[in-house]
Amino acid sequence: MLKDKVAFITGGSGAVGRSIVKTLAREGARVAYSYKSGSETAKQLDEELTASGIDVRSYHLDVVNGKACSELAQRIEEEFGLVNILVNNAGVAQVMPFAMIEEKDWDLIMDVNVKGMFLVTKAFARGMIRRKVGNIINIGSLAGMRMLEVPVHYAAAKSAVVGFTLALARELGRYNIRVNTVAPGMLTEGVSVNIPSKQQEEYKDYCALSRAGRPEEVAELVAFLASDRSSYINAQSILVDGGI
């Protein structure tokens, strides 16, 4: 499905990121990914994929460092190939009520989830524009699309992902570049594990499938959107939430 394509995923050492890396590699893409703090997890992932005969590259990256993003985009294209699939997955969350959110907390969430997405996309989109082909998939959240009991700054950041996707899809469509958002609901791994147990049970009560999702289920949708089988899907924010 993704043979002859090169993909780059940010936040590849996290629960969802690992699943995306593995799934895109399974579908035939050459995969590079970044991590910030999960160096040991990244090493294990590299070893697992390499043992399976998969050529994968991992790079340390702070997504809020614009210069580092630009340099890494150039390095990957020189060392690994021309990137035509970008997955903006790097993110961070905090569980705290609005009255306790300090300015530094707001800045952290906005920097990683929004500014980082902008800087990475800008770095890799340049090559896509030159070649007039590309596919950008942003990982959003149900928190940015529904009225839920979630941290305000996290919901605001994930809402920004949707706006970013819509405007970018309109602008880059002329270059044959598609931009979509995948918005997971509560998952069994990742940031969802920090949700209080009471809220986890409430989610399952309201969810048509009565369960949390798995990172692999998010990755399968990402793989489909990254493929030519979804060639007329653009500017969409697709929920993976079990039916809320």
List, for residues 25-67, the tens digit of each pLDDT value: 999 999 999 999 889 999 999 999 999 999 899 999 999 999 9
Is residue 109 a contact partner of residue 157, using CB atoms and an 8 Å limit? yes
Res 177: pLDDT:
98
For residues 156-172, average pLDDT? 98
- Evaluate if residue 126 carries a pLDDT over 90: yes
Query: Tell me, what's the pLDDT at 29?
Result: 97
pLDDT on residue 131: 97
The reply to whether 154 belongs to the active site is yes
CA dihedral over 204, 210, 214, 216, signed as positive or negative:
negative
- Measured between alpha carbons, how far is residue 145 from residues 217, 223, 241 in Å? 19, 22, 11
Task: Assign domain 6-239 one CATH number from 3.20.20.70, 3.20.20.140, 3.40.50.720, 3.40.930.10.
Answer: 3.40.50.720
Q: What pLDDT was estimated at residue 195? A: 87
Residue 26's nearest CA partner among 49, 57, 8, 59 is 49
Residues 6+ apart with CB under 8 A from 23: 216, 219, 220, 222, 223
Residue with token string 């995969």: 31
Tens-digit pLDDT profile for residues 63-108: 999 999 999 999 999 999 999 999 999 999 999 999 999 999 999 9
Indicate whether 160 pLDDT > 90.
yes
Write out the two tokens for 156: 């605001």
Q: Which of 59, 154, 175, 203 is catalytic?
A: 154
Over 90: is that where the pLDDT of 194 sits? no
When pLDDT is cut at 50, 70 and 90, the band that residue 143 belongs to is very high
Residues with Cβ within 8 Å of 71's Cβ and at least 6 positions away in sequence, in order, are none
Instruction: Please give the full DSSP string across the chain, using - where no structure is assigned.
Output: --TT-EEEETTTTSHHHHHHHHHHHHTT-EEEEEESS-HHHHHHHHHHHHHTT--EEEEE--TT-HHHHHHHHHHHHHHT----EEEE---------GGG--HHHHHHHHIIIIIHHHHHHHHHHHHHHHHT-EEEEEE--GGGTS--S--HHHHHHHHHHHHHHHHHHHHHGGGTEEEEEEEE-SBSSGGGGGS-HHHHHHHHHHSTT-S-B-HHHHHHHHHHHHSGGGTT--S-EEEESS--
Q: How many Å from the N-terminal Cα to the C-terminal Cα in the chain?
A: 30
Q: What pLDDT, on a 0 to 100 scale, did the predictor assign at position 38?
A: 84
- State the pLDDT at residue 88: 98
CA distances for 96 relative to 154, 158, 204, 220, angstroms: 10, 16, 21, 31
What is the percent of the chain with per-residue pLDDT over 90, rounded to a whole number? Answer: 95
